[in-house]
Amino acid sequence: MPEPRRTTVHQLLAQARSGLERVGPAELAELMAVAGSAEGGRLRVIDIRPRDDRERTGVIEGSEHIGQLVLEWRLDPDSGASEGTAADLDDHLVILCNQGYSSSLAAAQLQRLGFARATDLDGGIEGWIEHGLPVVPPHDNSGGSNG
């Protein structure tokens, strides 16, 4: 009996990224600066990192926290568990994590749910900081504290 075909995490990541138009730190900063004038859905920057990581490095001002474990449930308007955090399918969702790996997988999953403009921050918060872009202390008043 042949062994079941296995997909490695590297293959899974490559597959996820093949469908994303990832944004770099400078591009995200520009998008955030003009977000009020953007057409076709609002820009939402969603930080999926755990509280300890956000407290250690800070957060991007204007981002919201939704834990990775509940991300799909909080954004899908049909989940019944969005608790006021549901996204419109045409929103531009930029997901970020520490280095841009988990966020790629999360963004690809959101695309499968119908969020065609879901993507992630290339390099994560570490790339943002390396580009000299500002971070602020986290505020725990955004949607979803799990994860």
- The answer to whether 120 touches 94, Cβ cutoff 8 Å, is yes
Domains along the chain with CATH numbers: 24-130 (3.40.250.10)
Give the pLDDT confidence score for residue 85 in this predicted structure. Answer: 85
- Look at residues 67, 115, 122, 78 and name the one whose alpha carbon lies nearest to residue 93: 115
Residue numbers of the chain with a pLDDT score lower than 50: 141-147
3-state DSSP assignment of residue 116:
coil
- Predicted TM-score of the model (pTM): 0.87
- The answer to whether 95 touches 120, Cβ cutoff 8 Å, is yes
Q: Which helix (H) or strand (E) holds 120?
A: strand 118-120
